[in-house]
């Protein structure tokens, strides 16, 4: 009665992981450098707090965030 085997829909043939695109490998520089960067920033924050106090360090942090935000906005780059 039928001409041959029934063909499945494309969505059935596609695996679940195909929708996420190709898997990108994380380089050694990123996998080691990013945690070191985070630890370094936290140690710098602790050093600033211990030297100048909590209230002054919050003002310093606010100024750094303001400068970083302005630099990011003026660069025009999209992440």
pLDDT score recorded for residue 1: 55
> Is residue 4 assigned to a domain?
no
> Is residue 7 assigned to a domain?
no
> Is residue 50 assigned to a domain?
yes
Query: What are the pLDDT digits (tens) for 19-31?
Result: 566 667 767 777 8
> Is residue 29 assigned to a domain?
yes
Query: What are the pLDDT digits (tens) for 20-61?
Result: 666 677 677 778 888 888 898 889 888 888 998 888 888 888
The boundaries of the domain holding residue 46 are 24-75
Is residue 45 within 8 A of residue 56, CB to CB? The reply is no
How many domains does the chain contain in total? 1
């Amino acid at each position: 009665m039928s001409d041959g085997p029934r063909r499945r829909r494309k969505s059935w043939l596609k695996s679940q992981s195909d929708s996420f695109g190709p898997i990108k490998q994380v380089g050694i520089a990123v996998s080691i450098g990013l945690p070191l960067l985070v630890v370094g920033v936290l140690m710098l924050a602790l050093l600033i707090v211990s030297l100048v106090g909590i209230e002054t360090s919050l003002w310093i942090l606010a100024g750094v965030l303001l400068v970083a935000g302005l630099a990011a906005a003026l660069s025009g780059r999209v992440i």
